[in-house]
Amino acid sequence: MSKITIRNIKAILTAPAGINLIVVKVETSEPGLYGLGCATFAYREKLVASMVEDYLDPLLKGRDVSNIEDLWQLMNNNSYWRNGPVTNNAISGVDMALWDIKGKLANMPLYDLLGGKSREGVAVYRHADGRDLDTITENVQKFMDQNIRHIRIQWGGYGGDAKALNKPAGAPDGVYYCPDQYIRNTIKLFEHVRGKLGDQIELLHDVHERIPPIDTIRLAKALEPYRLFFLEDVLSPEQGDWLKILRQQSCTPIAIGELYNNPKEWDYLIYNRLIDFIRVHISQIGGITPARKLAIFCEQFGIRTAWHGPGDVSPVGHAANVHLDLVSHNFGIQEWAGISETLHEVFPGSPILKDGYVYANDKPGLGIDINEELAAKYPCQTRVTQWTQTRLPDGTLYTP
């Protein structure tokens, strides 16, 4: 077969579920052969689209689609400054699409191309939230009735549901919360849910880096009696050095990584065994190529994967997560925000959830497609992001 080259790269912006998604389509010199990849950075979608079409497309036109590693390094190095979320998501979209193409050329699903399955289905965790303890417990029970056995519980969302805050005069608008209230309520939450539902369910919780490091240690120690499957994103990337102190103080399992862009943010955590689960956002670190390397690196140190899987990952990105989950021996759990009926229509071939497990199909590549005509009916909306404007009771901005 003659060499197959990249003919065109474009970004497809769509929001079928009301969340901005970015999908990259790499078209080749072989008629009808193309690949799809996820480049979703929901809050800066226009920048990623520009990076893909104005910079990566002219850089890669005419190059051999088979040389994925070389093309990844080329994309990463070409802008000179690297490891940023806009650049990495754009690279991811192309990288995933190239793996999709390679699977189609080999007539193999990606999981086969990467070595074959380590398991048939991928265990997931779902999110149970609520404004009061009984509602949360009922929502957990609903998932248990669907054979979901790993459930993340939150009381009032990230940072909790703050009551009676005494804000200073003239305090700016924002999403206010009280770290101390949040900590006390989270301990009550786990005491209540464990008391009602027992030990036959794996419980998780997301701190979302909203409390100071010393309070993180206090919370992790206080939650030990409730045997968490893991405590998620306890610290911001800037506070990673505190994980060594946390490890010395608490045996609560730790999962971290959704904000990471740069290998130097995670390598020392892994080889020093300061975390238990790596949960990066695959498109945020540059796609399947670096994620596969990261999973293998983690395996050497007994650390499991728990890739980020929220609503601001496209079904293409969810498919990439699932294929890596199927292959990785050190798979731990997969976050699953769910794929709506509308998303399934726009993205035929999306992974399917059944009885607590997500399944990929056996089509070549990622096994997923996009209905571009239907996707165009759900345009993205560029707005000022509100939920990340988080503030302490005195009005100080804090990490979201």
- pLDDT digit string (tens) for 344-363? 999 999 999 999 999 999 99
pLDDT at 234 over 70: yes
CA atoms 78, 84, 87, 90: torsion sign = positive
Taking the C-alpha atoms of residue 260 and residue 279, their distance in angstroms, rounded to an integer, is 9
Percent of the chain at pLDDT exceeding 90: 98
The total of other beta-carbon atoms located within 10 Å of residue 363's CB is: 16
The CA distances from residue 313 to 10, 45, 89, 207, in Å, are: 18, 12, 11, 20
Mean pLDDT over 190-205 rounds to 96
Phi, psi (5° rounding) for residue 140? -65, -45
Distance CA 358, CA 337 (A): 12
Is residue 299 within 8 A of residue 308, CB to CB? The reply is: no
Query: What is the architecture of the domain spanning 6-109?
Result: 2-Layer Sandwich (3.30)
pLDDT digits (tens, 9 = 90+) for 257-309: 999 999 999 999 999 999 999 999 999 999 999 999 999 999 999 999 999 99
Mean pLDDT of 128-149: 97
pLDDT at 387: 94
Answer whether CATH 3.20.20.120 is correct for domain 112-364.
yes
Integer Cα distance of 96 and 84 in angstroms: 18
Tens of pLDDT along 136-145? 999 999 999 9
In whole numbers, what is the pLDDT of the chain averaged over residues? 97
Q: Would you state the structure tokens that stand for residue 354, as one six-digit string?
A: 């059944």
Domain regions of the chain by residue span: 6-109, 112-364
CB 16 within 8 A of CB 378: yes
Q: How confident is the model at residue 2 (pLDDT cuts 50, 70, 90)?
A: confident
Confidence at residue 163, expressed as pLDDT on a 0 to 100 scale: 86
Q: Is 80 a catalytic residue?
A: no
C-alpha pair distances (Å), 212 with each of 9, 137, 215, 235, 398: 43, 28, 5, 8, 10
Count CB atoms within 10 A of the CB of residue 128. Answer: 23
Q: Residue 381: what pLDDT?
A: 95
Beta-carbon contacts of residue 117 (< 8 Å; ≥ 6 apart) = 111, 326, 327
> Given a cut of 90, is residue 55 above it in pLDDT?
yes
Identified catalytic residue from 205, 208, 308, 323 = 208
Which segments of 28-174 does DSSP mark as H helices, in order?
A: 45-50, 57-60, 68-78, 85-106, 110-113, 133-145
For the question of residue 125 being annotated catalytic, the response is no
Residue 133: strand, helix, or coil? helix
Cα separation, 10 vs 228, in Å, equals 43
Phi-psi group of 12: left, alpha or beta (phi > 0 → left; psi -120 to 50 → alpha; rest → beta): beta
The CA distance from 312 to 315, in Å, is 9
Q: Contact at 8 Å (CB) between 366 and 320?
A: yes
- In eight-state DSSP terms, residue 51 is I
- The answer to whether 204 and 230 are in contact (CB under 8 A) is yes
Catalytic residue (one of 34, 111, 125, 158): 158
Q: For residue 366, how many other CB atoms are within 10 A of its CB?
A: 34
Residue 162 has what pLDDT?
87
Q: 37 near 287, Cβ under 8 Å?
A: yes
pLDDT in tens, 158-167: 999 888 899 9
Q: What is the CA radius of gyration of the chain?
A: 21
Q: What is the pLDDT of residue 1?
A: 62
Q: Give 378 or 164, the one with higher predicted confidence.
A: 378
